[in-house]
A = this chain, B = another copy of it.
Amino acid sequence: MRITVLAGGVGAARFLRGLRQAAPEAEITVIGNTGDDITLFGLRICPDLDTVMYTLGGGINEDQGWGRDGETHRIRAELAAYGASPDWFTLGDRDFATHILRSQLLAEGRPLSAVTEVLCRRWRPGVRLLPMSDDPVETHVVLAGPGERRVVHFQEWWVRMHAETPAAQITASGADRARPAPGVLDAIGAADVVLFPPSNPVVSIGTILAVPGIRAAVAAKTVAAVSPIIGGSPVRGMADACLAAIGVDTSAAAVAAHYGPGLIDGWLVDDQDKAASDDPALAGIEVRALPLYMRDLPATTAIARAALDLALELR
């Protein structure tokens, strides 16, 4: 069986760990969001790709869900001693090594997809991990509020500002000119089913879908998606701030309606949100309710299994 998954960071990585357990024989291709990517200190950082790679490769910091296990922060302290900025993005020493090597390989002219493959040779994530595009796409946030219209990189809004300043608009800068990375459209086309983990619908899944060609390829397949909203709140992160920026309510039903029946076929919601199945806006989407907190690997495996089963049923 071939499963293709569009993936953000922490939520997707955990879901994928469950999916690997739920479907150990499946050939899983992961199309990772690169809109969060940022260049800091001259190094190219791909937070979502790394979170998936470290999590599936056994090198993740389990407590925080991102970054490396057993991490130290000596380089960061040194850069601060030099007065180098920014100081708001936490990069550990082990993590720096990944960015150093990635940047070196990119500078040698290799595309991000090839570089990701090199990095994955070490981590053996058990899935094929592809960036959505080899072309640079960066999610930018137009800040709402008084004064001049100010645009910041998504990471600055998310990490430095904790998404506390409302966003007037969120744009995937460069997405319109980006091409899907080699293998991306093939992996979607060849998939038996496509799954959306409980990733951010705006800045993770939404950004991947913004790369020309990907949305249409996904829409042609049977797609089951897992709600990242439980009982009116994001399970993790600040997806509500992103949804507000695009005028979508923070509810499981509203997110499904936003994706639309033209894109997703099945929608897994938490038991708390089972009323979504009666929502007329979700006509044409099969809604199924179950416990959706990925509290441990067995619970996560059950969720992944349910998403896969739903997609297979709807084919």
Contacts and interface: CB of A to CB of B under 8 A. Distances in A.
B41 A83 contact: no
A81 B98 CA distance: 10
A83 B42 contact: no
Interface string A63-86: 000000000101100110111100
Contact of A94 (B78, B83, B103): B78
Quick one: copies of this chain in the complex? Answer: 2
A281 interface: no
Q: Which of A74, A84, A94, A98 has the most CB of B within 10 A?
A: A74
Contacts of A75: 75, 93-94, 96-97, 100
A119 interface: yes
Interface of A: 41-43, 72, 74-75, 78-79, 81-84, 93-94, 96-98, 100-101, 103-104, 107-108, 118-119, 121-122
Given A83-B121, A83-B122, 9 more contacts: A42-B100, A72-B72, A74-B93, A74-B97, A75-B97, A78-B97, A82-B122, A84-B104, A96-B100
